[in-house]
Amino acid sequence: MTTQNLTLLTDFYELTMMQGYFHSKEENTPVVFDIFFRSNPSGGGYSIAAGLEQVIEYIKNLNFSYEDVDYLRSLNLFDETFLQYLSGFHFSGSIYAIPEGTVIFPREPLLKVIAPVMEAQLVETALLNIINHQSLIATKASRVVYAADGDGVMEFGLRRAQGPDAGLYGARAAMIGGCIGTSNVLAGRMFDVPVKGTHAHSWIMSFPDEYTAFKTYAKLYPSACCLLVDTYDTLKSGVPNAIRVFREMREEGIELKNYGIRLDSGDLAYLSKKARKMLDAAGFSDAFISASNDLDEYLILDLKNQGAAITSWGVGTSMITSKDCPAFGGVYKLAAIQNADGEFVPKIKLSENTEKITNPGNKTVHRIYDKETGKLLADLICFVDEVFDESKDLLLFDPVETWKKTKLKGGTYTMRELLKPVFLNGNCVYQSPTVMEIAAYCRKEKETLWDEVTRLFNPHKVYIDLSKKLYDVKKELLDQMSIQE
């Protein structure tokens, strides 16, 4: 698969700012930018990081081709010395990121760029574009998979995704979020994930009758035979014809494996219960019942509450578009600038809204677990050079509501640093796992969450706290800002 050069996939202002930096004394000043997001999609209690592998491909392929430079020249805004610089451009900075499939929370840096200001500025747009999309769909898929409660969820959204890229990378993200397969064949090939599917109504309609359509399909695919039973009348025609075909196959000595029916319209709870009874009575209790039709996590949960006899779910539109929450909201904010002594000077962005005030400095994130249960207790954002001793007590406090404090007794918790080096001085030092490995890791990650965090409605908020040192620096910067005003 050829990798696309996406160097011009950026907002125009990144380039105009770059030219400005290029002609200033500080053109090569190293800076720190953080990517973080402000709230979990769909009112959930957590999100899933995704997209890092595509970020790596993008960074590795960053270079302005002759045609790119010619195009920029034609805009009559960039001078020749800057265009010359662009033609020799490559990324020389460092990137740290939380690995894909990790459970993430609002306000913590999930990716950090440390690079000369021009380079760090250029990559903002594409990085956000990639991370925002895949993290959104991985999170949505994780919610759908949660509702399915152990049943398989197939990703069926390509035809309704917002274009080919959203379909492809959405399928990748949905697999990370926990789907068992996708109908998207190119995604299957590109990401080495299982491709799955049934057949369309058109298959049935193209035969003289439903029975012939079913029989032809079952003979072709006896080891993956899912018959769509709702083209004419689900209970009067579809299910009886499916049973007839299953019976004939058995009589002909053709072993059916992994076989069943799909419902795609009508009252899915009612129809599935009736169909289950009919299949069981005919001796096909191992036949599965799958369902599709504008499903999402809420409908699946509701259908389960109604006792629907469905054990396999096909989900398209709502998952691939994250219909109820179409944007992840990740942002890229300047956090520090290196001074002449090589130290990173923390920078802060003020806002009327306390929650929107950024966290300054060159930071990292530690995840804190309860030693006994292995469950996640809190995340701690701190400066990179801070050292913690798990045998000592740890005071955690909410960065906004600072009176909310928790003291963890030394020896009762463990800590794990989340941000991992991905590029160091321009060199990639990270090997992406396969998508299926990421998906397995993601499943394990979710096991560290308390049930109160994973529920779909009004989940408990995980504490995302600041170290005392970071809190003090932030407060000092805020105080200085208010004096200047």
Ligand X SMILES: O=C(O)c1cccnc1
Ligand Y SMILES: O=P(O)(O)OC[C@H]1O[C@H](OP(=O)(O)OP(=O)(O)O)[C@H](O)[C@@H]1O
Ligand Z SMILES: Nc1ncnc2c1ncn2[C@@H]1O[C@H](COP(=O)(O)OP(=O)(O)OP(=O)(O)O)[C@@H](O)[C@H]1O
Contacts to ligand X by CB under 6 A: 156, 183, 197-198, 292, 314, 316
Could you tell which of ligand Y, ligand Z, ligand X, none binds residue 317, using a CB distance below 5 to 8 A set by kind? ligand Y
Could you tell which of ligand Z, ligand Y, ligand X, none binds residue 197, using a CB distance below 5 to 8 A set by kind? ligand X
Closer to ligand Z by CB, 265 or 311: give it. 265
| Cβ-proximal residues to 213 (8 Å cutoff; 6+ apart), any chain | 203, 204, 206, 207
Q: Is 269 in the site for ligand Z (CB under 6 A)?
A: yes
| Torsion over CA: 465, 466, 467, 468 (sign) | negative
Q: How far is the CB of 300 from ligand Z (least distance, A)?
A: 9
Q: How far is the CB of 301 from ligand Y (least distance, A)?
A: 15
**CA distances to 299, 337, 369, 477 from 390, in Å:** 44, 31, 11, 29
The residues with which 259 forms a beta bridge, in sequence order, are 225
Q: What is the dihedral of CA 77, 80, 81, 84, to 10 degrees?
A: 110
Three-state SS for 156? coil
Q: What is the dihedral of CA 321, 324, 326, 330, to 10 degrees?
A: -130
Distance CA 282, CA 297 (A): 32
Q: Is 317 in the site for ligand Z (CB under 6 A)?
A: no
Closest CA to 212 of 244, 257, 186: 244
Closer to ligand Z by CB, 245 or 291: give it. 291
Q: Is 233 in the site for ligand Z (CB under 6 A)?
A: no
Distance CA 463, CA 385 (A): 22
Options 20, 106, 240, 266; binder of ligand Z; rule CB under 6 A: 266
Q: How far is the CB of 226 from ligand Y (least distance, A)?
A: 11
Options 227, 299, 319, 348; binder of ligand Z; rule CB under 6 A: 299
Element (H, E) at 35: strand 30-36
Q: Is 200 in the site for ligand Z (CB under 6 A)?
A: no
Q: Is 228 in the site for ligand Z (CB under 6 A)?
A: no
Closer to ligand Z by CB, 315 or 439: give it. 315
Options 165, 302, 370, 390; binder of ligand Z; rule CB under 6 A: 302
Q: Is 153 in the site for ligand Z (CB under 6 A)?
A: no
Q: Are the CB atoms for 262 and 272 separated by under 8 Å?
A: no
Distance CA 19, CA 34 (A): 22
Closer to ligand X by CB, 225 or 453: give it. 225
Distance CA 237, CA 113 (A): 60
Q: How far is the CB of 203 from ligand Y (least distance, A)?
A: 8
Q: Is 306 in the site for ligand Z (CB under 6 A)?
A: yes
Closer to ligand X by CB, 93 or 316: give it. 316
Q: How far is the CB of 331 from ligand X (least distance, A)?
A: 34
Distance CA 111, CA 422 (A): 10
Start-to-end CA distance of the chain, whole Å, equals: 55
Q: How far is the CB of 454 from ligand Z (least distance, A)?
A: 22
Looking up tokens 């459970």 gives 103
Q: How far is the CB of 316 from ligand X (least distance, A)?
A: 6
Q: At what angle do helices 80-87 and 66-74 cross, to 10 degrees?
A: 160
Q: How far is the CB of 295 from ligand Z (least distance, A)?
A: 5
B/e letters for 209-220, b = 16+ CB within 10 Å, e = fewer, are ebbebbbebbee
Nearest residue to ligand Z on Cβ basis? 265
Q: How far is the CB of 159 from ligand X (least distance, A)?
A: 6
Structure tokens at 375: 């469950």
Structure tokens at 67: 């045609």
Closer to ligand Z by CB, 132 or 234: give it. 234
Q: How far is the CB of 356 from ligand X (least distance, A)?
A: 40
Closer to ligand Y by CB, 158 or 377: give it. 158
Give the residues lining the site for ligand Y (CB under 6 A). 156, 159-160, 200-201, 264, 292-295, 314-318
Closer to ligand Z by CB, 264 or 379: give it. 264
Q: Are the CB atoms for 280 and 261 separated by under 8 Å?
A: no
**CA distances to 116, 165, 481 from 477, in Å:** 23, 42, 6
Q: How far is the CB of 310 from ligand Z (least distance, A)?
A: 10
**The one segment of 55-63, 124-132, 134-142, 289-297 that binds ligand Z by CB under 6 A:** 289-297
Q: Is 448 in the site for ligand Z (CB under 6 A)?
A: no
Could you tell which of ligand Y, ligand Z, ligand X, none binds residue 302, using a CB distance below 5 to 8 A set by kind? ligand Z
Q: Is 293 in the site for ligand Z (CB under 6 A)?
A: yes
Distance CA 35, CA 333 (A): 7
Could you tell which of ligand X, ligand Z, ligand Y, none binds residue 306, using a CB distance below 5 to 8 A set by kind? ligand Z
Could you tell which of ligand Y, ligand X, ligand Z, none binds residue 249, using a CB distance below 5 to 8 A set by kind? none
Distance CA 417, CA 98 (A): 9
Q: In degrees, to the nearest 5, what angle opens at C-alpha 455 toward C-alphas 451 and 457?
A: 145
Q: Is 268 in the site for ligand Z (CB under 6 A)?
A: yes
Please report, as a single letter, which amino acid is at residue 331.
V
Binding positions for ligand Z, rule: CB under 6 A: 265-269, 293-295, 299, 302-303, 306
